[in-house]
């Protein structure tokens, strides 16, 4: 950062006692000269990212979006326009399948035009497309974000319409649309699990908008798990390892499960922190007064143990050993 400022490529900006950084004219010219196909849409004309933003709320939203970009990039997800299919382009999309994971910011989605006017008030940061899934992505930072159920439901409906019924109908079905929320720590995951939406019900809560809503942290651990989420082959290998010594779960039972102990105790693979699944699993065990086993990573255990209580036995995966084996 110091070197960039000394070179005149980056300028420090203060407003409302909040420090920020802006690209200088030399930096913009260097990016446009070197990689015009990658940065022209962000740095020229009336592009939203080419306008100065001084309000604290807008600057913090940009920070969350930048944080999301970094998490995606570190997980091996494509983020630049020239390295991913033009799925949300107003025109020019040729129907190519999504072979590698790619992230499209909310602005890229909204660039489609008239079809996106109904999602202007949404809090989503963008959409992650993996070969097997669509993830409406949010970044809540360190605290519960504002949440409007109807606005976010319109995002889901748009993804159904544009991707599952039109542009990528051959690759995705409506049940392939999930939610993904990023946060600064696992403690936010506990806040989400126990949230009732606040006094005015305008903060994030698990309201049924998505049957599967994954929670990942904005750090190295979250990035590795995000890479796993986008890789069905490695996910299947981890599930195979975890299933050793267990029997096949019965998906038709009242208790949601992935496997079962030899004595019939239901087992849930919770390492992706699919929060609605964890809630359904824990609630069913409470109603039926039965024990259960939840398998998660070691750094997730404290929060999940606090939420589930003594009825659920936690079995942990050593994250360091896991990473060394599947992501050497």
| pTM (two decimals) | 0.94
Q: Are residues 239 and 219 in the same domain?
A: no
Q: Are residues 95 and 206 in the same domain?
A: yes
Would you give per-residue pLDDT tens digits along the chain (328 residues)?
A: 899 989 989 988 887 777 888 888 899 899 999 999 998 888 876 656 656 666 778 888 888 999 999 999 999 999 999 999 999 988 878 889 999 999 999 988 988 876 677 787 899 999 999 999 999 999 999 999 999 999 999 999 999 999 999 999 999 999 999 999 999 999 999 999 999 999 888 999 999 999 999 999 999 999 999 999 999 999 999 999 999 999 986 665 678 899 999 999 999 999 999 999 999 999 999 999 999 999 999 999 999 999 999 999 999 999 999 999 999 8
* Cα–Cα distance, 231 to 269 (Å, whole number): 16
Q: Are residues 37 and 93 in the same domain?
A: no
Q: Are residues 64 and 194 in the same domain?
A: yes
* Cα–Cα distance, 144 to 211 (Å, whole number): 19
Q: What is the pLDDT of residue 47?
A: 59
What is the three-state SS of the chain?
A: CHHHHHCCCEEEEEECCEEEEEECHHHHHHHHHHCHHHHHHHHCCCCHHHCCCCCHHHHHHHHHHHHHHHHHHHCCCECCHHHCCCCCCCCCCCCCCCCCCEEEEHHHHHCCCHHHHHHCCCCCCEEEEECCEEEEEEECCCCCCECCHHHHHHHHHHHHHHHHHHHCCCCCCHHHEEEEEEECCHHHHHHHHHCCCCCCCCECCCCCCCCCEEEEECCHHHHHHHHHHCCHHHHHHHHHHHCCCCEECCCCCCCCCCEECCCCCEEEECCCCEHHHHHHHHHHHHHHCCCEEEEEEHHHHHHHHHHHCCCEEEEEECHHHHHHHHCC
Q: What is the pLDDT of residue 46?
A: 61
Q: Are residues 60 and 207 in the same domain?
A: yes
Could you tell me if 62 and 213 are in contact, meaning their C-beta atoms sit under 8 angstroms apart? no
* Cα–Cα distance, 230 to 227 (Å, whole number): 5
Structure tokens at 322: 């896991």
* Cα–Cα distance, 51 to 252 (Å, whole number): 53
**Backbone φ, ψ for residue 146 (5° rounding):** -65, 150
Q: Are residues 2 and 135 in the same domain?
A: no
Last residue of a domain, one of 203, 230, 257: 230
Q: Are residues 303 and 264 in the same domain?
A: yes
Q: Are residues 266 and 291 in the same domain?
A: yes
Q: How far is CA 159 from CA 104, 140, 145, in A?
A: 12, 21, 21
Q: Are residues 62 and 29 in the same domain?
A: no
User: By C-alpha distance, which of 142, 116, 136, 211 is closest to 180?
Assistant: 136
- Total count of domains within the chain: 3
Last residue of a domain, one of 230, 260, 290: 230
Burial of 75 (0-12, 13-18, 19+ CB in 10 A): buried
Could you tell me if 168 and 174 are in contact, meaning their C-beta atoms sit under 8 angstroms apart? no
Q: Are residues 166 and 247 in the same domain?
A: no
Q: What is the pLDDT of residue 192?
A: 97
Q: By residue range, what is the domain housing residue 136? A: 55-230
Q: Are residues 288 and 217 in the same domain?
A: no
Q: Are residues 43 and 59 in the same domain?
A: no
* Cα–Cα distance, 90 to 234 (Å, whole number): 35
């Amino acid at each position: 950062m110091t070197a960039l400022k000394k070179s005149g490529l980056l300028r420090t900006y203060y407003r409302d006692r909040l420090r920020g950084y802006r690209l200088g004219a030399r930096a913009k010219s260097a990016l446009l000269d070197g990689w015009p196909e990658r940065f022209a849409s962000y740095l020229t004309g009336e592009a939203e990212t080419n306008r100065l933003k001084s309000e604290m709320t807008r600057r913090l939203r940009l920070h969350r979006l930048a944080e999301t970009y970094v998490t995606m990039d570190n997980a091996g997800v494509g983020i630049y326009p020239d390295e991913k299919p033009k799925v949300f382009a107003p025109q020019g999309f040729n129907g190519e399948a999504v072979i590698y994971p790619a992230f499209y910011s909310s602005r890229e989605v909204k660039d489609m035009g008239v079809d996106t006017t109904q999602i202007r008030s949404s809090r989503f940061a963008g959409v992650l497309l993996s070969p097997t899934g669509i993830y409406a992505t949010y970044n809540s930072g360190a605290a519960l974000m504002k949440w409007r159920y109807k606005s976010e439901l319109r995002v889901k409906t748009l993804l159904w319409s544009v991707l599952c019924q039109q542009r990528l109908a051959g690759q995705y079905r409506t049940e392939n649309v999930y939610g993904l929320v990023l946060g600064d720590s696992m403690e936010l995951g506990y806040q989400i699990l126990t949230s009732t939406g606040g006094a005015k019900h305008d903060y994030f809560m698990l309201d049924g908008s998505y049957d599967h809503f994954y929670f990942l942290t904005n750090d190295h651990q979250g990035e590795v798990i995000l890479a796993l989420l986008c890789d069905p082959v490695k996910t299947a290998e981890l599930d195979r390892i975890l299933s050793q010594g267990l029997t096949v779960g019965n998906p038709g039972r009242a208790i949601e499960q992935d496997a079962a102990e030899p004595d019939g105790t239901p087992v849930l693979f919770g390492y992706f922190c699919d929060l609605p699944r964890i809630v359904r699993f824990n609630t069913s065990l409470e109603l039926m007064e039965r024990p259960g086993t939840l398998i998660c990573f070691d750094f997730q255990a404290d929060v999940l143990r606090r939420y589930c209580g003594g009825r659920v036995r936690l079995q942990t995966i050593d994250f360091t050993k896991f990473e060394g084996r599947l992501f050497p």
